[in-house]
Structure 1
Amino acid sequence: MTNESIGRLAPWLTALACIILWWLIIVAFGIKSFILPTPWETMKALYTYRGPLFTNGMATLLTTLLGFGIAVGVGLILGILVGSSRLAYQALYPLLVAFNSVPKAALVPIFVIWFGTGTVPAVVTAFMLSFFPVVANVATAFATIEPELLEVMRSLGASQRDMTIKIGIPRSLPYFFASLKIAITLAFVGSVIAEIVAGNNGIGNVMLVAGSNFNVPLVFAALFVVGAMGAGMYAIFDVLERRLTSWSVRGASMAQHATGG
């Protein structure tokens, strides 16, 4: 079996090992289902409540993607602006770090006052949690471009726009896709938090109702749905990263081979 095949099987084998460990812990300590359901009870809840889980899962997915999409657009533009100017980097980056340090769950009640309950607080919370990784990674990519390379471009008559398009954006792609894979998982967290606090639907609302009824298998089934959606979106961005930034992977492999690594 090749290393590539092992790499593809590794996540599934790890997941299977975790499920077996989960089941063994329940059997060994005699844990009741209203505290910790078995994997079988969770799968049974997935099937029994498949209709509500699908409907609410789609609602969570849509609000997450909407907030995430806005975060990517705003974060990309702001990251380019901050990373392209040393003054802007020094002036704005500390403020962005301070903004990211604010607990977003504490802001959800404020969003409810401003926007009411429902979809909007979930979209805003998803945006706020997924915004910073995009800005930080893109700004770092632009801020770490070698000065010598920029000087060569200027000596050839390149404008700031040319350097952004021909150097900055290609250079930032690996950073950008790395930020997307982080940001999409955080966006799901933001949506579910807002749905628990102020949602009328969505997976977070399902978890809230199920928890109040002590239907813990349904809570775990809802968690499984969120995890599956997050893993699916992560996989999509991973494929896009491999296709659009394969040059960086090849470059790293060649450098490692040249140095005997």
Structure 2
Amino acid sequence: MTGVRRLLGYLLLLGVLALTWVAVRAGGAVPALLVPDPGRVARSLVTKVLLDPAALGLTVVRATAGTALGLAFGTALALAAHLLPILEPLTRAGGMIMRCVPVLALSPLIATLFGYGGPAALATATMMSFFPAFALVGAALGQVPPALADVIRVGGGGRGVVLRHVSVPVALPELVQAAKLTSCVGVLAALTAEFLTANDGLGALLARSQGLLDTATVWAILLTSLATSLLAYEVLDLAERRTRDRLSLHKN
């Protein structure tokens, strides 16, 4: 029922936006250059976005790969801080610093270190995606019930057994939740890096369209980015609920 209600909410919002779009166009209060005709946006969406594998496909691949790397990096930092508490202040401080620095400010450094285009998009998505995994997985590992760990140790199990049979099942739903929370961020990060440094992908197409004052294509790209982010969020939201149900680790 949650998914159905959310879908109805999306459809209602889409209807309101469509009506607002038509009203703004009909009123003529905003120049047509800023609010293009919906038919032109639809044509650009099909011909310049959906049918161009070098645009949408590359951005989705880069966003997905960068998000996966960010989640893996964040999880590794959380595990390191859990297994070696002496590292916890260092990893947390480093994570907070990387999280707080604006990505636009880091773009020149990222391009210098990793290269322009695809590598920069991948690195940017990774940097913007790691912190939720680090924070959520780290918090979950810190809430492992001591009694469960003690039972395994009494039975002869070491730290590795505790990690595999207790810590990982506790942290897994939080990792999936981190993936859900970063699903939109990954697309935005890849799009931003492509806009600044790449010659391909949706970001590069957005930069070219903006330079040519092709507002219809700009709107088509923004709508595509929004739809892709929402789809990824809904898929991962379902995965999170299934994971929590399977492991019987429900939120209060």
Tell me the TM-score range normalised by the shorter chain. Answer: 0.7 to 0.9
Tell me the equivalent position of 2:241.
242
**Aligned equivalent of 1:114:** 113
Q: What are the residue-to-residue correspondences of 1:133-148 with 2, within 5 Å?
A: 133-148=132-147
Q: CA RMSD in A?
A: 2.4
Task: Give the equivalent residue in structure 1 for 2:224.
Answer: 225
Task: Work out the CA distance in 1 between the residues paired with 2:115 and 2:41.
Answer: 33
CA contact (8 A) 1:104 1:125 kept: yes
Contact 1:53 1:203 in 2 (8 A): no
Q: Is the 8 A contact 1:134 1:180 kept in 2?
A: yes
Distance change >3 Å, CA 44–CA 26, structure 1 → 2:
same
Listed as ranges, the gaps of 5+ residues in structure 2 are none
Name the stretch that deviates more: 207-216 or 152-161: 152-161
Of stretches 69-78 and 219-228 in structure 1, the one that deviates more from structure 2 is 69-78
Distance 2:172 2:45 in 1: 38
Q: Which residue of 2 aligns with 1:70?
A: 69
Shift of 1:112: 2.3
Q: CA deviation at 1:57?
A: 0.5
Partner deviation per Cα, 1:157-195 (whole Å, 9 max, x = no partner): 331111111111111122111100112211111111111
* Structure 2 partner of 1:202: 201
Provide the rounded CA distance (Å) in 1 between the counterparts of 2:112 and 2:4. 52
* Greater mean alpha carbon deviation, residues 160-169 or residues 111-120: 111-120
Distance (Å, rounded) in 1 between the aligned partners of 2:243 and 2:205: 37
Q: 1:5 to 1:250 in 2, by over 3 A?
A: farther
Return the alpha-carbon distance in structure 2 between the equivalents of residues 46 and 237 of structure 1: 25
What is the aligned residue count? 252
Give me the whole-angstrom Cα distance separating, in 2, the residues matched to 1:226 and 1:8: 18
Q: Which moved more, 1:208-217 or 1:38-47?
A: 38-47
What is the alpha-carbon distance in structure 2 between the residues aligned to residue 90 and residue 97 of structure 1? Answer: 11
Partner of 1:212: 211
1:132, CA displacement in angstroms? 1.1
Could you tell me how far apart the structure 1 residues matched to 2:244 and 2:168 are?
Answer: 12
In the aligned structure 1, how far is the partner of 2:184 from the partner of 2:244? 21
Per the alignment, residue 57 of structure 2 pairs with: 58
Cα offset, 1:144, TM superposition: 2.0
Kindly indicate whether the alpha-carbon contact (under 8 Å) linking 1:33 and 1:216 is maintained by their aligned counterparts in 2.
Answer: no
Evaluate the alpha carbon distance shift between residue 6 and residue 75 of structure 1 in structure 2; reply closer, same or farther with a 3 A threshold: closer
Q: TM-score of the superposition, structure 1-length normalised?
A: 0.85
CA deviation after TM superposition for structure 1 residue 7, in Å: 4.4
Distance 1:26 1:82, change over 3 A: farther
Map of 1:1-261 to 2, 5 A cutoff?
5-28=4-27, 30-50=29-49, 53-247=52-246, 251=250
Q: What is the SS of the residue equivalent to 1:33?
A: coil
For 1:259, the equivalent position in structure 2 comes to none
TM-score, scaled relative to structure 2? 0.88
**Which has the larger displacement, 44-53 or 105-114?**
44-53
8 Å CA contact 2:125–2:187 kept in 1: the answer is: yes
Change (3 A) 1:198 1:250: closer
- For residues 22 and 155 of structure 1, the distance between their equivalents in structure 2, rounded to whole angstroms, comes to 66
Q: Is the 8 A contact 1:83 1:140 kept in 2?
A: no
Question: Which secondary structure state, in structure 1, belongs to the residue aligned with residue 54 of structure 2?
Answer: helix
In the TM superposition, what is the alpha-carbon distance from 1:3 to its structure 2 partner? 7.3
Which letter maps to 2:62?
T
Q: Secondary structure at the match of 1:55?
A: coil
For 1:81 and 1:250, locate their aligned partners in 2 and report how far apart those are by CA, in whole Å: 23
Tell me the percent identity: 21
